[in-house]
Amino acid sequence: MVKLSPSVLTADFLTLKDMLKKFENSGVDMLHLDVMDGIFVPNISFGVPVIKSVKAHTSIPIDVHLMIDRPHRYIKEFAEVADWLGFHYEAGSDVAQTLKEIRKLGCKSCLTIKPKTTAEEIFEFLPLCDMVLVMSVEPGFGGQKFMPESLDKVRKIKAEAKRQGIELEIQIDGGINAETAPLAVEAGVTVLVAGSYVFSAEDVEKTVREIKAL
């Protein structure tokens, strides 16, 4: 079964607690939390204290997507509240060292690439990754349109991981809905991130079950 990591970026934070119960009931696998600094991406979201209070109210593993400049500066703080911790290849940190540090701190490591970054650029880092996140929109905002070019990158990363004999999750983030999710799964995605599609659903539990059954 494909895993689902709903992104709370477009959620109403004051009603998030009820939503977390629905997510638990419907078998959500991870909770995707988008951290933006207004520098690496042109938007600001939230940081460690907000994630900490979300974590205190749920047993769902926390999947943190850092969209911040030079993320190595904050890995220690975020590792305390994350189960999966990911950062951008393009963000100006030593990639191998940051991935190693994440694992050393007891988190699962995730390397994330923007739409313009090629799959080949990160092949050398795959042995240090528990997950690779392929962005299917320019990072920074929810509710954007899915970029189909991202599927080819998923296929390439999947093939290269197999070639290197590495097992890792491949996550996709941006514009995932009933039409695009099956394409992503077919290409080899094992973890779907979905923000606006899940949070605008009339029946959230039904929508989660439908996606997971793909």
Interface residues with ligand DX5 (CB under 6 A)? 7, 9, 32, 34, 65, 137, 139-144, 173-176, 193-197
Spatial separation of the C-alpha atoms in residues 211 and 214, rounded to whole Å:
6
Near Zn ion by CB under 5 A: residue from 3, 55, 65, 88: 65
Helices vs. strands in the chain: H and E counts, helices first = 8, 8
Closer residue to ligand DX5, CB minimum distance, 140 or 188: 140
Told to judge if 34 belongs to the known catalytic residues of this protein, a careful annotator would answer: yes
Residue 137 partner contact from ligand DX5, Zn ion, none using kind-dependent CB cut-offs of 5 to 8 Å: ligand DX5
Q: Which stretch binds Zn ion (CB under 5 A): 60-68, 93-101, 151-159, 197-205?
A: 60-68
Nearest 10 degrees: Cα torsion 110, 116, 117, 120: 120
Name the residue number minimizing CB distance to ligand DX5: 195
**37 near Zn ion (CB under 5 A):** no
Q: Least distance (Å) from Zn ion to the CB of residue 165?
A: 28
Residues 6+ apart with CB under 8 A from 202: none
Q: Least distance (Å) from Zn ion to the CB of residue 143?
A: 12
Alpha-carbon torsion (141, 147, 134, 57), positive or negative: positive
Q: Least distance (Å) from ligand DX5 to the CB of residue 178?
A: 12
Within 131-203, where are the H helices? 150-164, 180-187, 196-199
**Nearest in space to 64 (alpha carbons), one of 136, 104, 5, 150:** 5
Residues recognised as catalytic: 34, 173
